[in-house]
Amino acid sequence: MSRQLDNDNPTIFAPTASATSKRVQQGKASLWASEALSDDEYDYDSASGSGEDREDIDSEEVYDLLRSITDPEHPVSLEALRVVNPDDIHVAGNRVLVYLTPTIPHCSMSTLIGLSLRVRLLRALPPRYRVDIRIKSGTHQSEHAVNKQLNDKERVQAALENKHLLSVVEGCLSTADKRGRT
C-alpha cells in the first residue's frame, strides 16, 4: 500500500458480545422451549401464521447489522476494533442513533466508516427509520465536521455517486452478513 496508514497498529479486541442473544424472549417463547413451540406449529388443524407476535427492531438487531463490517484500513471487523459498540446504539420509535468511536482522534477514515454504516443501514433497515450517525463525543478532533458530513443527505448522495468511493464501501460491506460469526 502506498499511503501511510492512519493507525497502523490498532488494538484488536476479542469479541465480547457473544453470538447468542441476551434478548429476553417475549410472549409464548419466554415460557416454552423452542422445541415445544415447533411441535405446536404442525398441530393438526391450527392455521399457522395468523397470530404472529411482532418482534420490534431493537438496538441489538441494529448492532448485529453493523458488527461485521470490515474496517477500511485493516481486514478486521468494526466489532473487533470497538468502533461500534452495542451500548452506543439507540433505537426509539422510528429513529436510530449510532455513535461510532474512531480508533484514534485524527482518524481520516471516520467519514468512510460512517458512510459504510449509513449505506448498510440504508439497505438493511425499513425506509420508515430515520438514521443518525455520530462520532462519539470527545473521540475525534473534527467531530462536528464529520457529523455534519455524515448526516447531510445530499453529501451522502453525492458520495455514493462516486464510483470509486462506492466500491470501497462495498468492499467494507462484503463481510457484513457474517453478523458476528467467524
C-alpha distances out from residue 80 to 16, 73, 77, Å: 9, 13, 5
Q: Which is nearer to another protein, 4 or 34 (CB)?
A: 34
Residues 10-39 that bind another protein (CB under 8 A): 18, 20, 24, 27, 30-33, 35-36, 39
**Contact with another protein (CB under 8 A): which of 90, 95, 106, 123?**
123
Q: Which residues contact 119 (CB under 8 A, 6 or more apart)?
A: 160, 169, 173
Interatomic CA distance for residues 160 and 137, integer angstroms? 26
Scanning 4-12, 75-83, 123-131, 137-145 for contacts with another protein by CB under 8 A, the matching segment is 123-131
Interacting stretch for another protein, rule CB under 8 A, among 81-89, 134-142, 151-159, 171-179?
171-179
Where does residue 137 rank: exposed (0-12), middle (13-18), buried (19+ CB within 10 A)?
A: exposed
In the list 113, 125, 159, 172, the residue contacting another protein (rule: CB under 8 A) is 125
Which of 1, 3, 8, 54 is the binder for another protein (CB under 8 A)?
Answer: 54
| Min CB(68)–another protein separation in Å | 11
Say whether residue 130 binds another protein (CB under 8 A): no
**How far, in Å, CA of 65 to CA of 61, rounded?**
6
51 part of the interface to another protein, by CB under 8 A: no
Amino acid at 27: G
Contact call for residue 174 and another protein (CB under 8 A): yes
Work out whether 176 is an interface residue with another protein (CB under 8 A): yes
Decide if 100 contacts 113 (C-beta within 8 A).
yes
- Rg, the chain, Cα only: 19
Please name the residue that has the C-alpha cell 476479542: 14
Point out which span in 45-53, 85-93, 143-151, 152-160 binds another protein (CB under 8 A).
45-53
List Cα–Cα distances, 155 to 115, 152, 162, in angstroms.
10, 5, 11
Q: Which residue has the cell 468511493?
A: 165
Q: Which residues bind another protein (CB under 8 A)?
A: 18, 20, 24, 27, 30-33, 35-36, 39, 41, 43-45, 47-49, 52-55, 57, 61, 65, 123-128, 167, 170, 173-174, 176-177, 179
